[in-house]
Structure 1
Amino acid sequence: MKKTILAVVTSSLFAASANAAVVYDKDGQQVDIYGRMEYDAGQMSFKTSNAQDVKNFGGDGSARLGVNGKWATGSDVSLIGKLEYQLAGEGNDSFSSSDTTTTTFTDRYAFIGADFGNGIQATVGQQDSAYAELKDVTDTFNYFDGEDEDQFGNGRWADSYKVTYAADGWDLRANVAFSDTNKDPSAATTYYKRESALAAGYTFKLDDVQSLKAVLAYQAATQHTTTADNSTDSQYALGLGYTYDAFYLGSTYGQRKHDVAGYKDDIWTATASYKVLPEVTAYTNYEIVDPHNAAGKAAATSPSGENGEFYVFGSEYDFTAKAKAYAEFKLNRVAGYDNQYVVGMQYNF
C-alpha cells in the first residue's frame, strides 16, 4: 500500500491514515487529509427491548474525515496533530453489535504533540490507548471482531497523555488519562476517574516471508460508582501474531479483574486469515470471556462463555487497494442469543 511521507515518518501515530493525501507542503509545514465511506447491511445489532433478539434486516451508512498535520520547528523536533470525525448517514453511529449509540456526528481523534525523531513521540488529547497494540493482534476484521480483547471500551481515551517508541522492531507505548465528565465523586454514576495503560511489542523478522510479533499489555482504571469510590479494575494480556506469506494467525490471552464485583474474567481470542487470491481473503475468528473465581456466583449460573462467546466467519474482496466488499457471519454461542450477519462495502481515500 502506498504511503505518504507523513504517514511513514509518524507510522506509529497515524497508521490508520496510510491512504492520506498531502494537500499542503510548504516551509516545513505539511497537512494531509484522509477519509472513509462505508455502508453495512444485515442483521447486525440487537433489540433494545430484548438484548438477545437480533433486529430485522437493516443498514447503516457512515463516513469519516481526518486531518494530519506536521510542523517543523528548525530543530530535530517536529510538532504533530490529528483530528478525525465520523458522520452517520442514517442517524445511527454505532458499529457494535449492541447498537446503543444514536449520535450522528462524533469526534474520534483530537490530539497534538511532538515527534522527537528516532521513533519517539509524545501526544495529548483523545487518542488510542496503549492497550490498542494488544487488540490489534486479533482485531483484523471489518465489522464483528475486536469486541472482547479490550474490556474497557473502544480503546480511545479522552484527556490522554501518551508516549510511544517505535524503532528497530520495538513498539513501546504508555499513557494515562483523566476523566473529563462527572468529576464530582458524589455523582450517582459510574465513571473512570483515571486510566493508565502500558504495552510492549517486538517483531521478530524470521525471513523474507515470515515474522512473529509478541505483545504484552496492561491497563487499569480507577473508578467511582454509587457504592464504591477509588476502586480499581485491571486487565492484562499477552498476544502473538504470526505471518507466513499470505497466511496470518493471531491470538491473545489475558484476564480482567473486576475489583468492585469481586471476580475475574479470562479472555481468549484467536484469528486466522488467508489471501486465497490477490484480491480475495478468507478469515475466521473466535472470542470468549469466561467468568473465573466469581464471588457470590454459583457454578451452575456461571458457565464458560457466560460473559461472551462467538465465532466469526468472513471473506473480503478487494476491488482496489482502497476499495473493498465483505461479508461476515457471527455465530453467538451464549444461550438464547441470535446469530448475526453483515455485508458491506468500504471506500478509503
Structure 2
Amino acid sequence: MKKTLLATAIIGALSATAAAQAATVYDQDGTKLDIYGRIGLGIEGGGSQYSDNTYIDSNGDLQGQRINRSGDFVNVGSRLGLRMSQAITSDMTAFGRLEWRFKANSQDAAGNGFDQLRQSYLGVQSQQYGTFQAGNFDSFYLQFVSSPFDVYINNGLHFAGNGKQSRGDSIGYYTPDLEGFTAFLQLKNYSERGYVEDPNAPLSSGQHRTTEQGNVIAPQGGVRYENGPVTVGLGFVEDVQRGGGNGEMMYGLIGQYQFTDQFSARLGYEGRGNSNSASYANYMENNPTKDNGYNTVGLGATYTTGPWAFTGDFYNINRDDGKDNSKAWSLGGYYKVSSAMDVFVEVNDNDAKAGNDRVGQQFDNLTDDAYWLTGVRYFF
C-alpha cells in the first residue's frame, strides 16, 4: 500500500504539534482514496459539580449517593475516516468524506465498535467557482469564524463549535479565495416529514409529534479575510430552538494575528439576543443550567518552540436574564514526540454559574472545580 505524507491541517497551534498523516489506498487517473484517523487515550478529573440539571454538592453527593469525580481513564477523540476525490475537469473535483468515532479506552466502552457517525458528506470543488457540499459536516461558522479559538482537545472553546446548527441535513457553499476574502453560507433543515400531525395523538414506537414550528431552516453565513499574518472572520447563525438555540440571531467577530512564526494572539466577540418567547421560557424553567441571551469576549495566545506548544485563553461571559457572569480560562501544553504522536495536558475552569438565579432551590450557588485532561494521541 503506497503511503504519502499529507499536508498538515492547521487548526491553531495544537494541530501544528501533530502532523495529519494518511494512507493513500488508491491514486490513479484523477481518482484518490485516503484512509486516516487517530487513537487518543487520556486521564481526566475535576470539572463541574453538577451534571445536567442536577446539583452535586462539594462532597460529591447527589440525592444521597456518592458521585466519584476523581481521575478516570478516558477515550480522547479517537476516530477513523475516509477521504475520496475524483477529478471531473482540470478545475472541478468531486469529493466525499466519511468519518466514524470509536472509544479506544476499553472493550466495554467500545461496545460493538463505532459509536458515532461524525462526518458524512459529498460535494464539488472548483478553484474558479467555489465549493458546494451537502450532508453531515462541521458548521461553517466554526470553520470560517471561531476556528482561531478551537485549539483545545476538550472543554476549552467557549464560542460556537462544530455542531452549531449543523451536523446533518445541511447544504453549504463557500467562494474561492477572492483576494483574501472567502464568503460562506450554510442551511440546516429540521424536517417533520413522517411525524404525527395531531400533537395530542398518542405515540407509537418510532413516531414523533409535529411542533407548532413545522419544518425549520437554520441559516448561517458570513465572510473571512486572510492576508499574511491577519485572519478575521465575521458571521451569523440563526440559533433556532429546534437545534438547541433560543430562536434568536447569534453574531460573531473573531480574529487572529501571527506576530512571529512562534507567537500568535487572538481576540473575539460573540453574542446572542435574549428570547422572551413563552416556549423558551418554559424550556429554561426545565433546564436552568442553559443560557438565554449572552455576550462573550475571548482573548488568547499560542506560543510554539521546537516540539512544544503552549496555549492560554480567557473568556468573559455576560449573561442576560439576571444570571451571573463567568470568567472562564484554559491552559494547554503539548509536546510533539514524533510526526505522528503527541502528548498533552490541559486545564480549564468554566466558572459555571448558569442556574444560580433559582433562589431557594437546589440550583443555588453552583460552582465548579478546574477540569484537567492529560494523555497521548497517535495519528495515522
Q: TM-score, normalised by structure 2?
A: 0.72
Alpha-carbon deviations, 1:124-144, whole Å to 9, x = none? 000122211222021112223
1:47-86 matches, cutoff 5 A: 48=51, 50=55, 55-61=69-75, 63-74=78-89, 76-86=91-101
Mapped partners of 1:290, 1:51: distance in 2: 24
In 2, Cα distance between equivalents of 1:17 and 1:197 = 30
Does the aligned pair in 1 maintain the 2:331–2:346 contact within 8 Å? yes
Give deviations 1:15-40, integer Å, cap 9, x for gaps: x9942332101222111111011012
Q: 1:288 to 1:5 in 2, by over 3 A?
A: closer
Aligned residues of 2:100 and 2:114 also touching (Cα < 8 A)? no
The separation in 2 between residues aligned to 1:216 and 1:35, in whole angstroms, is: 31
Change (3 A) 1:180 1:37: farther
Cα distance between partner residues in 1 of 2:212 and 2:46: 28
Greater CA radius of gyration, 1 or 2? 2
- Give the residue type in structure 2 aligned to 1:83: L
Give 1 or 2: higher strand fraction: 1
Offset of residue 231 of structure 1: 7.6
Tell me by how many angstroms 1:328 deviates. Answer: 1.2
Question: Does structure 1 residue 345 correspond to structure 2 residue 379?
Answer: no
Structure 1 match to 2:302: 273
CA distance in 2, matches of 1:314, 1:7: 19
Letter of the aligned partner of 2:377 in structure 1?
Q
Tell me, yes or no, if the aligned pair for 1:190 and 1:223 is still in contact at 8 Å.
no
Cα displacement (A) at 1:55: 1.9
Q: State the alpha-carbon separation in 2 of the partners of residues 181 and 34 from structure 1.
A: 35
* Identical residues among aligned pairs (%): 18
Q: CA separation in 1, counterparts of 2:138 and 2:242?
A: 22
Change beyond 3 A, Cα 1:7–1:140: closer
In structure 1, the partner of 2:310 is 282
- Aligned-partner SS, 1:134: helix
* Stretch of structure 1 that moved more, 50-59 or 238-247: 50-59
Alignment of structure 1 residues 184-199 onto 2, 5 Å:
184=195, 186=199, 187=209, 193-199=216-222
Are 1:137 and 1:252, in contact at CA under 8 Å, matched by a contact in 2? Answer: no
Taking a change above 3 Å as real, the CA distance of residues 45 and 5 of structure 1, as seen in their structure-2 partners, is closer
- Find the residue that maps to 1:145 and give its secondary structure: coil
Unaligned runs of 5+ in 2: 11-17, 61-67, 200-208, 282-291, 353-365
State whether residues 131 and 155 of structure 1, in contact with CA within 8 Å, keep that contact through their aligned partners in structure 2: no
1:128 counterpart SS class? coil
- 1:169 alignment counterpart: 180
Superposition deviation, residue 340 in structure 1 = 1.3
Matched, 1:32 2:60: no
CA change 1:86–1:344 in 2 (3 A) is same
Which SS does the other structure have where 1:131 is aligned? helix
Q: Distance in 2 between matches of 1:151 and 1:116?
A: 27
| Contact 1:43-1:55 at 8 Å conserved across structures | yes
Q: How many Å separate the matches in 2 of 1:31 and 1:65?
A: 14
Bigger RCO (CA 8 Å, 6+ sep): 2
Query: In structure 2, what is the Cα distance between the partners aligned to 1:157 and 1:183?
Result: 21
For 1:21 and 1:190, how far apart are their aligned partners in 2?
A: 49
Could you report, residue by residue, the CA deviation over 1:58-100 in whole angstroms, capped at 9, with x for unpaired residues? 021252111111112246322111000010134669xxxxxxx
Q: Decide which of 120, 132, 147 is 1:136's aligned counterpart.
A: 147
Q: Shift of residue 224 of structure 1?
A: 5.0
- Contact kept? 1:194, 1:221, Cα under 8 Å: no
- Which of 350, 363, 367 aligns to 1:336? It is 367
Structure 1: 5+ residue runs without aligned partners?
Answer: 9-15, 94-102, 206-210
